Structure 1
């Protein structure tokens, strides 16, 4: 695009009056390029145009067309004096418009900022409410979990009291001294019996199993396999106390090592049941040291550990070395 051609003489006269080149060119172009008076009238009519000081563009190749005026146009002194006033007025009007536009933009920014602040406060409040609700749900879930554990422990105690021949209701003594008697050598682990066992030993058995479970936390299959294997050893001895093969375990047996032997707590549990390490090669339970009360308590502890999913999660440690 090219700048349209205008009469150079008229353009110079307008510039001498104080009008910028772009405004004078634009005025001449749009007023017909006929006279200074027509150009000044156009400027007065369009002084508030945003593009009044922009150079007009034309697709035509600029051509300087001389205008022959029959009567020369003379710029009066009044017009010369008025031209700066008009230019100054145009400038002031533009400044006023720019200030109005800037105030409008500032108001819009303020409104947008307030809207963002309100949205942010609402989002923060909603997040706070969600956090409060989540904390309440977590507390309630923990309470329900503790209640389930408490009920499970009460159920286990009731079952053990049944095994020990105690009434199901009523508080358990701290260190019960219950006489042990059985006419046969077999202990049928599905029926109640009158047994005697130290509550301290029961705690040590439980702590062995808890410690074993904590070692492999997250691998429930390995824990369950160890507990079930110990249960089989205890049950076999209880049901067959006269059979030596059930009272003798080779420490180097691969099956024993993979399931129980690799855990020192597993070996310690069997020692609490009466087994002794012989020559570093065997775990052996002498026939005269078979204690049905101890075996029954070991069976009850193992059964609780296997069936109670919360076993060992809400308990304190017991020093197994006492």
Structure 2
């Protein structure tokens, strides 16, 4: 049987043509290819028509979109592979024109490769620079946001990570139009970006908290030396404290822009007001997490959407602590019946907001530096 694909002997990837093998070699530096009678898979999603070239790719597509039905069209797409290397376009044109000067074709102009503009925009929204985004998309094959982000993580220490990649004009191929995203895919991407933004905010807060603790330790050390009558350390070796302007809180605090930031501020206020009683703070956070989780998972059950404010246990765990009731109001709860109850109307249940509340609470519970600043 004639070969219908080329197999990479280094990673066993199946490729449809010599052109694909050349591109694979450029990206991976693999050079061991053999002709194979095994056809490249062509699993087409019955819902959106996306072709998948492997079981892994189809499983990832199912995980991202929920689409589970695929039609195997491998046999229809399989055809004998041509092992003749394609001639560069410039060489063919020059041969047809009878031009004997071949030196100009060897000095082709280098340009920035084209990348998937939708994925590029999403990477920039996540905070990656233009250079890193283009470089990641180019070398990961423009296949997905996840692949590009993983490439950046794996190559963040490369010396050329912040340089634009360059390719010759002849190797620059027009990008195939990407099918429009389904509503489910759009929702998943929005959730992924929200989660990444939350993680980024958590890391920044942790870094600020570590710096605050370090500065406090240095100040305590200097104070002990002063009390013991010891000379102060070399000022050049001791970093000065930051200007007090940044540590002061305005008499008119700026209200956080997003609901997630407002929730975080409520939790920070609650912890700072009771920083000497970690058990009380942890109990409050866990109680709030239970309310948010119950409302999100059982939105049709009124008992999970109604809280008696006069309940002694509720008052002891949350009600008496500044920031607790405010947090629940940000989740959608409203005071009703003369302020006796907190109630979340069924039509006002906002699942993304409740999920955001859960994320903020989990961060506050698990991050040892939360609320230190």
Range class of TM-score, shorter chain = 0.3 to 0.5
Tell me the TM-score normalized by structure 1.
Answer: 0.38
> Hey, which of these two has a bigger chunk of helix by percent?
1
Q: Which has the higher contact order (CA 8 A, sep 6+)?
A: 1
> Hey, which of these two has a bigger chunk of strand by percent?
2
Tell me the TM-score normalized by structure 2.
Answer: 0.33
